[in-house]
Chains A and B, each alone.
Chain A
Amino acid sequence: MLLSALKKGEKSRIVSIDTNCTNEVYQRFLDLGFVPGALVELQNISPLGDPMAFMIHNTLISLRKIDADKIIVENGKEETSC
């Protein structure tokens, strides 16, 4: 499922990053530690619903929903295609 589909406080492991995104965005994700296998938790949601803050490698990183949707995580309550 997509990273943005996590619920607040829910943890999951990153499966892959959408390969269609530009190299710059992909590199930036890697720089921030969003790599396959990393454990990520949705910790906070902005009062206006977007962006979201994810805890990854002990760091709180804020991503806009549209960007978080480029990351696919484990745990399939429902299968999402992308």
Chain B
Amino acid sequence: MLKNACEVCELNTTSDLRPLGESSSKYDYTIALAGNPNTGKSTIFNALTGLKQHTGNWPGKTVSSAKGNFSYKEHEYQLVDLPGTYSLLSNSEDEEVARDYILFGKPDVTVVVVDAGRLERHLSLVLQIQEITSKVVVCLNLIDEATRHGVVVDVRSLSKDLGVPVIATSARKKEGISDLLLAIHQVATGKIVPEKHEIKGIPSEMQKALYEVSNALYSLDNTLPSRSWLAMRLLQNDESISTALSSGKLSTKINKDNFRPVLDLAIAYRAEDGMQYSRKFSEAIFNTVFKIVKTTVQSDEQQRAFRVDRAIDNIVTSKYWGFPIMLLMLGGILWLTIIGSNYPSSALSYLLLDQLYPLLKEGAVSIGFPWWLSGFLIDGVYLATAWVVAVMLPPMAIFFPLFTLLEDFGYLPRVAFNLDRIFNKAGAHGKQALTMSMGFGCNAAGVVATRIINSPREKLIAIITNNFSLCNGRWPTQILMATIFIGALAPSYMSHTISTLAVIAIVVLGIGFTFFTSWMLSKTLLKGQSSFFTLELPPYRPPSVLQTIYTSLIDRTLIVLWRAIVFAAPAGAIIWLISNLHIGDTSIAVWAIDALNPIAVIIGLNGVILLAYVLAIPANEIVIPTILMLTAMTLGDATLGEGAGVMFEVSDGEIANILKMAGWTTLTGINLMLFSLLHNPCSTTIYTIYKETNSLKWTTVATFLPIVYGVLVCFLVTVAWNFFS
């Protein structure tokens, strides 16, 4: 990549920055990146390491800690991006990850990223971290947004009040990064020694308890860091801390036996004042925060940006417009995807199938390939791959950027806000709306995203139902079937609209199944009430369109496409092999299709479709190419090319003709759409479910429940269809 003059200029301190990505394993200093959820930690992480962590405008996006390296002024640093946490005082999983790292990982510097516009809330985490370690740099991020909201922060007096360097940044615009690097460097190398901060306003009886427990710890090991904080946690009955101390994890001088009296002392104080300790401590922190904010922040709540956010929220969550707008957004994205992918799809298939394919065949002949080798490689592997590219690339290249824009804008949490009551009634967690939305891109990603749900019961529900979000790999099937069998029934000027509506109906049906299954599970196998749930509705952020398009094309589209290709090539090989290897007079494929056909007909499908779904277990993306290749093969080679298993006619009209020749009806099309929604997750998702649940039982439920639904629904539709026609 070419660098502009400013990037290499010596006066630009970031020119000393060399992002090293994940590569480097040796480093001089470790830097922890902590902060509230949704403050732009991942953006800072990416800016420093050159990695491309997925960023998005919703809290809880980073669910495990990522690591990356960079070098700056002759030192190499490892940066650890911790999960976003509101505090270090409660016992949720992600907060323990963050806290344990700061405490046990002993990073050389802890950078606390705070939202400049919301210091009242975010400074509390800074003060808590300062209780553990004094090597803190505060990164006052989103300073541009704060300015837009009329919030002015006096950075210098904030830094003085806290006793640590405070650096204003706007990570998305890469502003302030060089100052941040310099501050990290100075604290890491000891050129700046931040002050130890004391929380004031702790009641005297509590101070006494703290003092005594902390002194008892001191007598065991006078070099133990963060003593008063550890004492605090012991008084608050934090078991992971008492275990860490008694097992010698924090200090080799402390063991089970000499720690026991300290714990007893803490327990005695705890019995005296119960839970009051943590509450009083929290209140003391907040009072300190308010005092600091009062003197360092000026805000004008009448600012336009506030009113704009408020006005948008009043519309998108309004009683009458909330739901229609959600449907309109969904429909709009689908409609653009369907319309937009039409032309590039035909162009790609013209190029890859009409032009390149015959050339490859001729080439193979001219260099003397035997028929079976050119058949296997070109009719099998190449064709399946070309098909997947032609069918998958355009819709993905349109869908992912559009979805990412919506995600960056901050609309997804509003969807969760609107739908929460239904999830609540279904006994599910409110954040399931977010994981469900992620599922529209990729179910495996949706399953990973369920880590934002703390309750194990609700997490399982979210995992099992994620498959009902129609993932991107299944959209081409939906779009093609809707266009051929439903859109074609309408007059041509309306056909796109009708097809779009049909796909929306399937998506909405999937959401219906999500609610129904969540409800059913929480009444039977996973009994329980929905747990305490809060969700931050982040301010709207104007998405950076060009960057979004670039990263979602590179990061998401190409990765997903690559995965599809990796699975399509072997699938193509298998299709060609089973079409050309014979048992008696019949190919294996025909044997399999004939065997599946009787079952398939009962549920209004056919043997080809079922066989395609077996072959497509690794990736939904290859369903359509497989169906078409198998159909072409069973129709015989007279009309469609040279070898069995060859398929290269691609326009919608041609496909419609071929399928109709093979006996497909509107019912087959509708049932394929339903079955595409309701069948087992792809193997990647199944594996991800196993990793997340660690349970064979729940993986089996998540795999087979949708198939049971699919068979039932297709059967009922077929019965009803035959009854009425």
Contacts and interface: CB of A to CB of B under 8 A. Distances in A.
A and B are interacting partners: yes
Interface of A: 23-28, 30-33, 35-36, 43-51, 53, 57-64, 67
B151 interface: yes
A66 to B, nearest CB: 9
**Chain A interface mostly:** mixed
B424 interface: yes
Interface string B533-567: 11111110000000000000000000000000000
B318 A47 contact: yes
B252 to A, nearest CB: 32
B421 A49 contact: yes
Given A47-B317, A61-B537, A67-B533, A32 B420 contact: no
B687 to A, nearest CB: 33
Nearest to B285: A30
B124 A31 contact: yes
Contact of B87 (A31, A51, A53): A31
B195 interface: no
A22 B416 CA distance: 25
Across chains A and B, which 8 residue pairs bring their CB atoms closest together, nearest first?
Answer: A47-B322, A57-B120, A31-B86, A48-B421, A60-B537, A27-B90, A30-B282, A31-B87
- Give the most central of B275, B323, B421: most A CB within 10 Å: B421
Given A60-B539, A62-B416, 15 more contacts: A26-B275, A27-B90, A27-B278, A28-B90, A31-B86, A33-B286, A45-B319, A47-B318, A47-B418, A48-B418, A51-B420, A53-B313, A58-B299, A59-B536, A61-B534
Contacts of A27: 87, 89-90, 278, 282
B421 A26 contact: no
9 contacts: A28-B534, A32-B534, A46-B418, A47-B418, A51-B533, A58-B149, A61-B537, A63-B534, A64-B420
Contacts of A62: 413, 416-417, 420, 430, 534-537
Interface in B92-116: 92
Nearest to A36: B283
A30 B89 CA distance: 10
Given A53-B537, A61-B537, A46 B121 contact: no
B548 to A, nearest CB: 23
Contacts, number: 122
Given A31-B90, A48-B418, A24 B537 contact: no
Contact of B120 (A45, A47, A58): A58
Nearest to A63: B534
Given A46-B322, A47-B322, A51-B430, A32 B121 contact: yes
A64 B533 contact: yes
Contacts of B117: 58
Contacts of B651: none
B719 interface: no
A28 B536 CA distance: 12
A53 B413 CA distance: 11
Contact of A57 (B118, B275, B532): B118
A35 B533 contact: no
B155 to A, nearest CB: 18
Nearest to A44: B317
A63 B430 CA distance: 10
B169 to A, nearest CB: 19
A67 B532 contact: yes
A58 B149 CA distance: 10
Contacts of B421: 46, 48-51
Contacts of B282: 27, 30-31, 35
B121 A59 contact: yes
A32 B289 CA distance: 13
Contact of B275 (A23, A33, A44): A23
B347 interface: no
B156 interface: no
A24 B151 CA distance: 32
B59 to A, nearest CB: 10
A53 B117 CA distance: 18
Given A44-B314, A62-B535, A24 B286 contact: no
Interface string B461-485: 0000000000000000000000000
A24 B535 CA distance: 16
Contacts of A46: 317, 322, 417-418, 420-421
A25 to B, nearest CB: 5
Nearest to B319: A47
B657 interface: no
A22 to B, nearest CB: 8
Given A46-B420, A51-B420, A59 B118 contact: yes
A29 B39 CA distance: 19
Nearest to A27: B90
B15 interface: no
B417 A44 contact: yes
Contacts of A60: 313, 536-539
Contacts of B323: 47
Contacts of A53: 313, 317, 417, 537
Interface centre among B313, B323, B534, B539 (most CB of A within 10 A): B534
Interface in B45-90: 86-87, 89-90
